[in-house]
Amino acid sequence: MLKREEETTLYRAAQAARRNAYAPYSHFTVGAALLTEEGKVYSGCNIENASFGLSVCAERVAVWKAVSEGTRRIKGLVLILSRGTPCGACRQVLAEFGNPEMPVIVYNDAGERRSYTLGELLPEAFSGELLRK
């Protein structure tokens, strides 16, 4: 569970990140911000490419930034987008560094807020534990 002030901080960081989104093909801009267990905030925006398979989602940009700085545990995520929820690839990446109870809070353009746990978005996530056996 995120505290109110943590969610507000993440919302503002996601808004700022969304302004940097590079989406000339879909015009679907997304901003994400995550809070680590250590209290650090990392944000990301979606970045498209003419070769669509090389595009990357805002959530994964934020996770890559956090992991590249040494983080391994995510406490929560705020996402701002026109509609929808994190894609399947992002859900799996979040599962690698979060936990089933991690809050994923989604705001749309109208300011409507929806709150999920990662476990609700990705029940029975694939785990690296399966590979270690």
Q: What is the pLDDT of residues 32-88, one digit of tens each?
A: 999 999 999 999 999 999 999 999 999 999 999 999 999 999 999 999 999 999 999
Number of domains in the chain: 1
pLDDT in tens, 9-20: 999 999 999 999
Identify the band that residue 113 occupies on the pLDDT scale cut at 50, 70 and 90. very high
Q: Which residues on adjacent β-strands are paired with residue 11?
A: none
**Is a pLDDT exceeding 70 seen at residue 133?**
no
Residue 42: CATH number of its domain? 3.40.140.10
* Beta-strand relationship, 103-107 and 74-80: parallel
Instruction: Report the distance separating Cα 34 and Cα 9, nearest Å.
Output: 10
Per-residue confidence (pLDDT) for residue 130, from 0 to 100? 57
**Is a pLDDT exceeding 70 seen at residue 116?**
yes
Q: How many CB atoms sit inside 10 A of residue 127's CB? A: 11
**Is a pLDDT exceeding 90 seen at residue 1?**
no
Catalytic residue among 38, 48, 59, 129: 59
Range of the domain at 117: 4-132
Active site annotation includes 7: no
